[in-house]
Each structure stands twice: as structure tokens, then as C-alpha cells.
Structure 1
Amino acid sequence: MRIDVLGPVQAWHDDGRPIPLGGPRHREVLGRLVAAEGRVVTTDRLVDDLWDDPPAGAVGALRTFVAALRRALEPDRAPRTPSRVLVTQGTGYLLRPPRAAVDVHRFQDALAEAGRSPGRAAELGEVLALWRGPAYADLPDSRWVRQERTRLEELRLHAVELRADALLTSGEGAGLVAELGGHVAEHPWREPAWGLLARALHRDGRRAEALDTLRRARTMLVEQLGLDPGPSLRRLETEILTGAPGLEPSGEQSAVRPRLGPRTTVELARTLALAGGDALVGSRRDRLAAVTAAERTGDVTLTARVIGAYDVPAIWSRADDPAQARAVVEAAERTLHRLGPDGPAELRARLLATVANESRSADTTGPARDTARAAARAAEALARELGEPAVLAFALNGVFQQSFTRLGLAARRDAVGAELLAPAGRHALPAFEILGRLVRMQSASARGDLTAAAGHAEAAERLAAAHESPLVPVLTAWFRARVTAARSAEPGGPTAASAAAAYRAADRELAGAGMPGLHRGLLPLALLGLRLLHGRPAPTDPALDWGPYLPWAAPLVLLAQDRADEARTALRELPEPPADHVQEALWALTARAAVALDEPGLAARAAAVLRDARDEHAGAASGMFTLGPVERYLTEAGACARGRR
């Protein structure tokens, strides 16, 4: 038998006949067990990995998949005899094929051997040929699949570079120029790849092109990252220019050896995150890769420093990449466990703050939410004991992220923002000073104090201009659109059309900012709020992407289409709004739909929740849009509920 996962998940009999693995879930179970590398995966873990929202019969379905896989993998096994390949152990399952029978295991073993014996690196071509596409290519993009793909892709790139280095050092490597040219084009941030390409060109007698390659690398690094090339590239350029006899360095001097360490990588990622756009997207990817690399070293202190170094301020309560955020949280929790309660206080505080910040309110439920809130409190307490301003600012960011436990907490968040301003301003922490201003802008917006909110927005913009933070004007443009919308409902104010245009202009800027967790669904929600301010029905444009807010908008959209029965069904099936920036808005939409459809029970429930926020404005805690005063929706819902009695 042979199992392949470096591409689509497949299995083969010894004679080359394909093994019919069944449907996508069967292949996913097999792939997940391959990824465990001989370790037991519990039934609960498998269920969580296979389903985002496990159905009632998930465990039974999993057992069915396992039974079918056993029949496929061991067709000649006698009835009622235990499987020797897919084994039940305790509360879970493990896969026990020979390592040589699984392509990913052969690849990893060959790479490990090349690391121990550099002379074997040139032989990596055979296992690199096992790759038929991305690992687990035909499986859904679930959390575990994404983590494995990221980990294995990093190993593949390292293997490509290790093999090229070995071939060049040994005097071989004919044809490497084309291979390395494609490698650099696909992965331009990898400095070792540029050095290898330059060496290959020089070996091919193309000295001028080798120098041009190094100069292109320098230009890219300086202009796009603000970094000078590392010592390996600088030394290689000098050696090519001078015709140094030792042009082919060996051992530790080799161009493939110097690599950005995990700590350096994550610090660079933190810097890039503040630039927004593609740099922000890339920074999240690089950060997770650095965390994974640090964990693989087995050095718990290094891992803790790498995880805690990414103290990028977080202003929104919905993650841009929930799977990546969960992976970081899991790594932080593992590292906290390994450090123990007596580990260095600063490392523990930063790890706890990471858990609090990455466990965004909209994406975390149940015990995980309780864990995140406890982490925020513990991080704050440790940071105050330490007296380290940077650690305290990071911890307070976590307190802010976990401050959406119920409606009506704008004043509490304003206090967090005010406290952020003091240490950030005194101790040159501009990113957190900006965060404090934005938090206070949101809080004043929630209370309807547009003058105070505008003052904080302007202060944030001044700081952004001084410290090159291009994301800030994107956020404050939304705040100004929110102001225009509120004033469009006042006598003599701007028109509703001008408010809609302001929202759309702000949305165009946000679209390229690299923050999908904030962007998706925000414009439709803002336009719906604008229509409610003017007593108009919900927008029905089918091109609007409501994103995560569709369930709460659907009843009003269906009503606007004269589909009352469907609207009533949608209203009765509404889930609890997540505890995030827009929870007041979603409860207000629930209240408005309950009143319109004469559902007094739901109206009473909405009124009970909204009562805590009666002095705030629905949606305005975002600082980006408004549905008007909560009091209006509370009064309507209360009247509907009393009509029931």
C-alpha cells in the first residue's frame, strides 16, 4: 500500500491499482491521520476538524468513514479482526502504515537526513518530485489543512534551496538557472533564493546577469521593505565583483545558510502589518510561519518571544483570518503550558495578551470565550506588576478586545482608550497611541458625542501622518461618513444620497486595506442603517454582499420584497448576535423586524437586551456607521411587547 498527500489525497495497492477511498470526508479523515504522524487523534478532535458546526450525528458519521477506510485499506482483513493500519486506540484513531509508504513521511525523512548529512542534500530531487501540487490539495480549506499546507510548503522551499546549494557547492547544478529563476519569481522575499540564483548565473558564465540579480534583490528589499540586503548577499556581490578565489563558500558561509530567524521574521511582519494592504496580508502569513518554525525548534523561550513579539494593535472585534488567529491562539496556549506558572512574567503576559487579542469576540464562543476573557484579565494584572509600558499597552488592547461581553459598555471602552494614551504617549509607542485615539473615537461615536469623536479622529490622523500609518485615514473616512449619515436625518442636513456616496467612497478605500474581517458586509449594513434613519425599507440590491450580517438583515430585506412569510421564518431562526462592535446594531435590527412582523415575544427579548444600551447609538460603537439612537428601537420593541399582554 502507498498513501500520497503531496497533492490530492490518494492511495494505491502494491500492484499499482488505486484504492477507492470514498468521498471527500473519507479522504479528509485519512489526511488528518497522516498529518498526525502516528499519534492518536481523538474522536472529538476529528469531529472538530471535519465540521465547523458538527451535526448531531457527527460521531456516528465519523465511525462510518473510519469503517469504510478500513475496508478500502485492508480489503483482505478477516471479519472481526482488528485493523493493523487504521487502529482504534483509547478515544481515538491512529494510522500505522510504514513511513516509507507515505509520500510526506519520505519527504520529511529525506530532508531531515540532508540536514544531518549535508552531502545528502543533492539527493533531495527525488523526494521533491513527489510533490504533485499543494499538500492535501483536494481537501477543504479547514484550519488543520491550512496549518499543514503552510508547514509543508515552508519545508518544500527549504528543500529546494538546500538541494540547489549542495549542487552548486559540489560543482554540479547544470540547469539550475531556470529552476531558481522561477523559484525567485514565486518567492521574492526569500534572500537565500536570490543568492542561489546569482551563484548559478555566475557558475554558468553569466557574471553580469549575476550582479544584476543581486542589484534587483537590493532594490526590491530597500524600496518595498526598507531593508538592506543581509551579509550573505553583500558578501556574494563583493566576491563576484572582485573575482574572489573563494567564490563558492562552504559550510556556514553558504548563501543558503543565512536565513531570517523566527524572531526577526515576526518583527518584520509586525512592521509590515501597520502598512495595510498586501503587506498586512503577508505579515499574517509570515507571522504564522515564524511561530511554526519557532515551535519546531523545541525552544520554549524562543517560541514565547516570537509569539509575543507580534504586538500589532487590534481595533476590530472580528478576525481577518479566523483560522490563522485560532492557530496562533493554540500555539500561545501550548507555549504558556510549557512555560508553566513560574515562567518569565513578561513572556507570560505577552502570551496571555496574544490569546486575548486573537480570540476576537465575533469568532469565539463557549469555553474559548471564557478562556480569552480570563487571559485578558491575567495579562493586565501581570503587566501592571511588571510596570512595562509596552507590555501594559498590549495587555490593554486585549482588555479592549474582550470588552464586548454585553451591550452598553462604551464608557468602559473609553476608559481603556484613555489609559492607552498615557503610557503610549510618554514612552514612544505611537501605534498604541493611535489605537487609544481610535478606541475613544468609537466610544464617543457610540454615545452620540460627535464633537469629541471628531477630535479623537483628527488626533489619530495627525499621529498617523507623523508615523506613516496609512490605515488610519481609511478608518476615519468611515467615521466621517457616519457623521454625514447622522446629520442627513436632521433638518437642513446633507442629503441621504450624499451620505450613501460617502459610505461608498470609504468602502472603496477599505477594500484594499487587507482587513476582510472589517470590510465584508460593512457597506450593506451602513446603507441599511441610512435607510432606517430616513424611514425607508431595506436595500434589496442582489449585488450587496451582507457577509456575516446576512441573518439579521434578511428579515428586513425580505419585508422590503413583500415576502412576509419568509421574513417571519428568517426572524424566528435568528441566532444570538455575536458579542462584538455591531451587536447593538444587530439587536436593533432584530427589534425592528419583530415590530414590523408583530412578534411580541421576540420584541420583548430584544428590548430586554437593548435596555443596557438605551443611551447609545446602534452600530455607532464601530465608529463607522449608525442606525440611530438605541432608544428609538427600544421604545418600539417595548410597545410591541406590551401589546402582547
Structure 2
Amino acid sequence: MRIDVLGAVRALRDDGTPVELGGPRHREVLARLVAAEGRLVTTDTLVDDLWPEPPARAVGALRTFVAALRRALEPGRPPRTPPRVIVTEGPGYALRLPRADVDVHWFEDALARTRRGSGNVTELSAALAAWRGPAYADVPDSPWARRERNRLEELRLAAVELRARTILDSGQGADLVAELGAHVAAHPWREPAWGLLARALHREGRQADALATLRRARTMLVDQLGLDPGAELQRLEADILTGAPAAWTGPAVRLGPRTTVDLARTLALAGGDALVHSRRDRLTAIQAAERTGDRHLTARIIGAYDVPAIWSRADDPEQSRAVVAAAERTLPGLGPADLRARLLATIAVESRTAHLSEAELERARQAAHQAEALARELADPALLAFALNGVFLQSFTRPGLAATRDAIGAELLDLATRHELPNFAVLGRLVRLQSASARGDLDTAAAHATAAEQLAATTEAPLVAVLTAWFRARATAARSTEPGGPAAATAAAQYRAAEDALRTAGMPGLHRGLFALALLGLRLLHDRAAPTDPHLDWGPYLPWARPHLLLAQDREAAARTALAAVPEPPHDHLQEAMWCLTARAAARLGDHGAAAQAAAALRDARTEDAGAASGLLTLGPVAPYLAEAEECAAADRTR
């Protein structure tokens, strides 16, 4: 008995005659058991994999398919004798055949042996020849089948290149030119393949063609991706020019568009000018990938930039919109669930809430939860961490959700710790710092700040210390109102030092207006008028601060006009602070309508601290602002 899935699913008897397996569902059940590599597949899993919306009698239908397959695969099995090929095991089924009798398992084992050096080219060549088409070619395009097809296709391409490299390293390979030429034409992004083709041409005595091949690779990489060839191709070109073939053995280095994104991810975590360059390089790589027309490549490039994001205002809103637009163009009809999840998570992370319409916000929230659901289904820890980042950034739908975000941070931290994802462990700590800060629990927030700093020391993430310095200034500001606490001037000095560090961090979405807002919060904590220094940059927070600035200048009429023009705050980290500014101004000016609107928005946040969800500053507890607004609104109702 032999089962083949590298092409259409089929079973063959010892004499090579085909086994009649039945209909498409029968072959799909057999294929799913092959993909499990001898492990148990539960009945529930089989039902979910066969039917997107299982019918009422799905389990009974599955049992019918299994029984029919058993009869086909073991036609001579006596009645009441336990089956030996498809066995019942616990709550499901497993396929029991030697790995050498299943083509995909034989192929994987041959590749593994060759990689270890215990196999040979003849065996690997035979395993590659067993491919009759795409793996599971006649199985419906369900999530499990897509995952397996993509995984096996990557292994097949790696096997083609490993076989060629092994032959060339042995001093042969002139006859590989046609095969490698077709391989490069079909997969132009696989940089090692260009090197292998050049080596095969040189082995055939075609030095000029070998050099021309390397120059074509250079042109393709530079023109379409903005990348120079990697060190391996550059060394190979020099060796061909100087006639130094002795240096051509050993593994090649695989580079491509993803290399640009990997570099951008590293730069993003470094902050400063590197962060600015990372944004530029990332968009360049995405645009280059889109120009190729290869949707899977584009999806991989977009989804590879899984840099943890903590702030709800984008540093470069236009670029964020461009990334989201590229992801939305790439998503329709995209097969692999992991790529779809990464694109959806990217949409959620890049759709920073402060810059979006309600329709865009709703699409981003849906994307966040779809990405989370897919990541959980795929059981991919790194993908789930990225998806949870999107869920966190889309969790600012209204004031008062600190507890919700703390639960997200706790799961992120646990997931990242268990699966050694240090950058997302830092994110989890910062999310929990923000949540504890919002609840006024400064001791817990300080513990998370310290833990985040310790993690950052090992992951080389200098931006963490910038954020925790702001938190410590926020804590000093809060304690400056306590008897025997630090002076307000001490808090102001800490805010100024934190501002100096943030100025060069490459995060304008965070930096603009933050220092001015922190000083306003400090003054409100001590019941003092707003700062009126004309040099202060209020950034995006000016509409909510302006009534207070005008009141500080005794310009009450202008303050009323400014209050009437104040919009609803965006759904971001500082929405409670903006609502509290509106509430305080409305109470001071007797604007009953604005007071009622602010009170309605703030009621669910009555136990939190205004602005403290940022982890960076505070205007003090929400409760007094809410009480003022409710009193003002009530006064209007009693007139």
C-alpha cells in the first residue's frame, strides 16, 4: 500500500494499481490524516476542517467516510478485525503507514537526511521527482490544506536548491543550467538561486553568461526592491572574475525583500534617526513588492514588520494610511491564513485611532478581532502577540477601559514570556504600566516600569527608558499633592528632562504637545491657572487646552467661543484627559450642554486618573472633574 499527496491524492496497491478512494470528501479525510504524520486527529478537528459550517449530522457523515476508506484500503480485512491503516485512537483517528510508504513523508525525510549530510543526491532527486503537482492538489482550499501546501512548497524549493548546491559543490553541475534557469524565472526573489545558476553557467564554461546572470540579479534587486545584492552574490561575482572557484562551497545566504523589513524592524526598536529610516525603508519594500504583482510576497513583506506599538497616535499618519491601503489591496482572495492574519493585524496596528473616521475605526476594530481569532486558530504565539497588539491599540473605544487593556497586557506578557518573545514582553509590561497608572496604582505601575527597563536592557530597546522616565515624572506629579510629597517644581523638572529625551526619539506622534499637556495637568493638580508661555507647543491638544489658556488670560468671552468649538476627543490614550479639560472649562464657564456631554463620556472612568492611561502624565483623578460637570449639567435642569 502506498499513499501519494504530492499532486492529486491517491492510493496505490503493491502492484501499482490505483485504489478507488471514493468522492472528494473521502480523499480529503485521507489527506488530513496524512498531514498529521501519524498523530491523532480528533473527530471535532476533522469536522471543523471538512466543513466551514458543519451540518447537523457531520460526525455521522465523517464516520461513513472513514468506514468507506477502511474498506478501500484494506479490502481483505476479516469482519470484526481491527483496522491497521486508519485506526481509531481516543477521540479520533490516525493513519498508520510506514513513512516510506507516504510520498510526502519520504520527501521530507530525504530532505532532512541530505541537510544533515547522511543522505545523498540520488535519494533527494528521486524524492523531488515524486512531485506530480501542487501538494494536495485536489483537496478543497481549506485553511489546513493551504497551510500544508505553502509549507511543502517552501520545502520543495529549498530541496531544489540544496540538490543543485550539493552537485555543484561536488565539482559537477554543468547540466543544471536549464533546470536552474527555470527555477530562477519562476522564483526571482530567491537570491541563492541566482548564485547557483551563475555557478552552473561557469561550470559549463560560460563565464560571460554567469556574470550577466549576476548582473541581472543585481538589477532586479536594486530596481524593484531598492536592495544591493547580498555578500554571497558579491563574493561569487568577484570569484568568477578572478577565477577562484575554490571559495564556492558552503551554504548560500538567502536575502530578499524581507531582509529590508527585518532591518527596518531592528532600526525601529533603536529609536531616533534609525526609527525614521525604518519607516522609510519599510514603505520602500512594500511598494517594491507590490510592483512585482506577487500577492503572497507583498503579504509577507507587509506582515513581517511586527514591531510592537504602544501609542495610539501615528508618527507618520500618511505612511500608516499607505501601509493600511496596501494591506487592504492585498487581502482579497489571499489564501494562507497566517498571511491573512498578519495583514489584518497590520491594519489594526497601523490604524492609529487618533487620525481615523468612524468607518475606518470600525474596519480596524474588525480587523483586530479577525486577526486575533485566526492567530488563536493557528496556535502561533508570535502571530497571536502581534494580533493582540492590534487589539490593544483598538481598545480605546471609550473612556474607562483600563481593566480591559490590563487583561490584554497580562495575556501578552504571559504569552511572550512562555514563548521567548522579548519585544512583546516589553510591550506587555508597558501596557500593564499604563493600565495601573490609569487606575492610580502607582506602586504596581512602578514595578512594571522597572521590569520593562530590565527587559529592554537585554533586547537593546532604548525607547523604553524614555517612556518610563515620563511615568516617573507622572508619579512625582501625583505625589506632589500629598502632604510631605515632592514639590510641584520637582515634577516639572522631571517632565522637562523626560521631554528632552523624547525630543530625539523619533516619535512625533507621541512627542508633539505632550510636555505642554503635562505642565497643564500639573497646574490643574495644584488648582493653578494654565501655563501661558507662548513658546509651548500644544500639538494636537490645543483645541481642548485653548479655553483654559484664554481663562488664564481673563478672556472669558473668547474662552466661551473656544469651548463651543471643541470637538469630541479622538479615541486614544488621552481621551479621558481631553474630556476632563472640557468638563472643567464647561463648569467654569457655566456651559451646561458641554458639561452634560463631558459627564456622560466620563462616567465609566470615574475611578480612573485623567490622562494617566498614557502612563506619561496625569491631570489627577477623573472623579472631581466628573462631579463638576454633573453639578453644572444639573443646574441647567433645575432652572
Normalising by structure 2, report the TM-score.
0.62
Q: Report the residue type matching 2:543 in the other structure.
A: P
1:49-88 alignment to 2 at 5 Å? Answer: none
What's the counterpart of residue 548 of structure 1? 540
What's the counterpart of residue 47 of structure 2? none
Residue 479 of structure 1 contacts residue 625 of structure 1 at CA under 8 Å; is this kept in 2? yes
Task: Report the alpha carbon displacement of residue 640 of structure 1 after superposing the two structures with TM.
Answer: 1.3
Residue 269 of structure 1 contacts residue 310 of structure 1 at CA under 8 Å; is this kept in 2? yes
Quote the Cα distance in structure 1 between the aligned partners of 2:497 and 2:367: 38
What's the counterpart of residue 550 of structure 2? 558
- Pick the aligned partner of 1:290 from 281, 285, 288: 285
Q: Report the residue type matching 1:423 in the other structure.
A: L
What's the counterpart of residue 536 of structure 1? 528
1:287-436 alignment to 2 at 5 Å? Answer: 287-339=282-334, 343-436=335-428
What's the counterpart of residue 231 of structure 1? 232
What's the counterpart of residue 570 of structure 1? 562
- Pick the aligned partner of 2:499 from 486, 507, 532: 507
Residue 560 of structure 2 contacts residue 589 of structure 2 at CA under 8 Å; is this kept in 1? yes
Residue 226 of structure 2 contacts residue 285 of structure 2 at CA under 8 Å; is this kept in 1? no
Q: Report the residue type matching 2:296 in the other structure.
A: T
- Pick the aligned partner of 2:585 from 582, 590, 593: 593
Q: Secondary structure at the residue paired with 1:378?
A: helix
Q: Report the residue type matching 2:290 in the other structure.
A: E
Quote the Cα distance in structure 2 between the aligned partners of 1:557 and 1:516: 23
Residue 325 of structure 1 contacts residue 359 of structure 1 at CA under 8 Å; is this kept in 2? yes
Residue 521 of structure 2 contacts residue 620 of structure 2 at CA under 8 Å; is this kept in 1? yes
Residue 410 of structure 1 contacts residue 443 of structure 1 at CA under 8 Å; is this kept in 2? yes
Residue 275 of structure 1 contacts residue 469 of structure 1 at CA under 8 Å; is this kept in 2? yes
Q: Report the residue type matching 1:478 in the other structure.
A: W
What's the counterpart of residue 242 of structure 2? 244
Q: Secondary structure at the residue paired with 1:263?
A: helix
- Pick the aligned partner of 2:474 from 477, 482, 485: 482
Change (3 A) 1:559 1:266: same
CA RMSD after TM alignment: 2.2
* 1:76-132, Cα deviation, whole Å (9 max, x unpaired): xxxxxxxxxxxxxxxxxxxxxxxxxxxxxxxxxxxxxxxxxxxxxxxxxxxxxxxxx
What's the counterpart of residue 526 of structure 1? 518
Task: Report the alpha carbon displacement of residue 246 of structure 1 after superposing the two structures with TM.
Answer: 9.6
Q: Report the residue type matching 1:336 in the other structure.
A: L
Quote the Cα distance in structure 2 between the aligned partners of 1:443 and 1:430: 20
Name the larger-Rg structure. 2
Q: Secondary structure at the residue paired with 2:311?
A: coil
Change (3 A) 1:259 1:386: closer
Residue 372 of structure 2 contacts residue 388 of structure 2 at CA under 8 Å; is this kept in 1? yes
What's the counterpart of residue 115 of structure 2? none
Q: Report the residue type matching 1:265 in the other structure.
A: T
Quote the Cα distance in structure 1 between the aligned partners of 2:609 and 2:457: 30
- Pick the aligned partner of 2:268 from 269, 273, 282: 273
Q: Secondary structure at the residue paired with 1:529?
A: helix
Quote the Cα distance in structure 2 between the aligned partners of 1:541 and 1:244: 68
Q: Report the residue type matching 1:366 in the other structure.
A: E
Residue 316 of structure 1 contacts residue 518 of structure 1 at CA under 8 Å; is this kept in 2? yes
- Pick the aligned partner of 2:486 from 469, 478, 494: 494
What's the counterpart of residue 136 of structure 2? none
Quote the Cα distance in structure 1 between the aligned partners of 2:632 and 2:458: 52
Q: Secondary structure at the residue paired with 1:405?
A: coil
The unaligned stretches of length 5 or more in structure 1 are 1-165, 171-188, 196-228, 248-257
The unaligned stretches of length 5 or more in structure 2 are 1-207, 213-224, 246-252
Residue 300 of structure 1 contacts residue 338 of structure 1 at CA under 8 Å; is this kept in 2? no
Task: Report the alpha carbon displacement of residue 387 of structure 1 after superposing the two structures with TM.
Answer: 0.5
Task: Report the alpha carbon displacement of residue 468 of structure 1 after superposing the two structures with TM.
Answer: 1.0
Q: Report the residue type matching 1:284 in the other structure.
A: R
Residue 226 of structure 2 contacts residue 288 of structure 2 at CA under 8 Å; is this kept in 1? no
Normalising by structure 1, report the TM-score.
0.61
* 1:365-391, Cα deviation, whole Å (9 max, x unpaired): 221111000001100111111100000
Task: Report the alpha carbon displacement of residue 244 of structure 1 after superposing the two structures with TM.
Answer: 2.7
- Pick the aligned partner of 2:450 from 458, 474, 479: 458
What's the counterpart of residue 74 of structure 1? none
Quote the Cα distance in structure 2 between the aligned partners of 1:276 and 1:516: 12
Identity level (%): 69
Task: Report the alpha carbon displacement of residue 620 of structure 1 after superposing the two structures with TM.
Answer: 0.2
* 1:5-46, Cα deviation, whole Å (9 max, x unpaired): xxxxxxxxxxxxxxxxxxxxxxxxxxxxxxxxxxxxxxxxxx
Quote the Cα distance in structure 2 between the aligned partners of 1:311 and 1:299: 21
* 1:496-535, Cα deviation, whole Å (9 max, x unpaired): 1110000010011011111100000000000000000001
Task: Report the alpha carbon displacement of residue 245 of structure 1 after superposing the two structures with TM.
Answer: 6.8
Q: Report the residue type matching 1:327 in the other structure.
A: A
Task: Report the alpha carbon displacement of residue 261 of structure 1 after superposing the two structures with TM.
Answer: 2.5
Quote the Cα distance in structure 2 between the aligned partners of 1:292 and 1:365: 25
Task: Report the alpha carbon displacement of residue 542 of structure 1 after superposing the two structures with TM.
Answer: 0.6
Quote the Cα distance in structure 2 between the aligned partners of 1:416 and 1:400: 7
Quote the Cα distance in structure 1 between the aligned partners of 2:313 and 2:332: 26
Quote the Cα distance in structure 2 between the aligned partners of 1:626 and 1:540: 19
Residue 191 of structure 1 contacts residue 233 of structure 1 at CA under 8 Å; is this kept in 2? no
Residue 618 of structure 1 contacts residue 628 of structure 1 at CA under 8 Å; is this kept in 2? yes
Task: Report the alpha carbon displacement of residue 453 of structure 1 after superposing the two structures with TM.
Answer: 0.4
Q: Report the residue type matching 1:615 in the other structure.
A: T
